[in-house]
Every structure is written in C-alpha cells, then in structure tokens.
Amino acid sequence: DDEYLDEFKGESETVGGVMMEAKRDFLKKGDTLTFRCLTLKVEAVEGRRISRIRVRIDRQYTDPETEEE
C-alpha cells in the first residue's frame, strides 16, 4: 500500500526520513519506530545519515480500522 506511512511522511523520500519525521529528531543506532504491523529499527548510522534499517513485520497484527465487528 503506497499510503501506508503517509501519516508520518511529510517531505521525506526515504524510510529513514520518515522515521526522523515521526520522531522529530535525529536517530541513533537502536532507535525503533512501530507503526501498525511494522517495526523499523535503525541498525547503522553514518553521521546524520541512516545507512541501514531492519524491518520486522508482525503477521499476527490486526488493524483496528479494518477489523470487522
């Protein structure tokens, strides 16, 4: 879904940029962001640039917005 992270995305063009916008600060190694079924973890940083992110998908996640009543 192209709009999945739009809640956080402002002017960002990268996942690292979206993470920085969500946190509203520079990120460091080990920082995490969880959004719906995604957990994004900063694995490596070079200066202010995030060079590696680990993405974990929780396949057991149920989105309350789409859950049937």
pLDDT, tens digit, for every residue of 8-29? 567 778 888 888 888 888 899 9
Give the global pTM: 0.70
Digit-coded pLDDT (tens) for 33-42 = 988 888 999 9
Question: Is residue 69 a contact partner of residue 61, using CB atoms and an 8 Å limit?
Answer: no
DSSP state, 12? -
**How far apart (Å, rounded) are the C-alpha atoms in residues 39 and 46?**
21
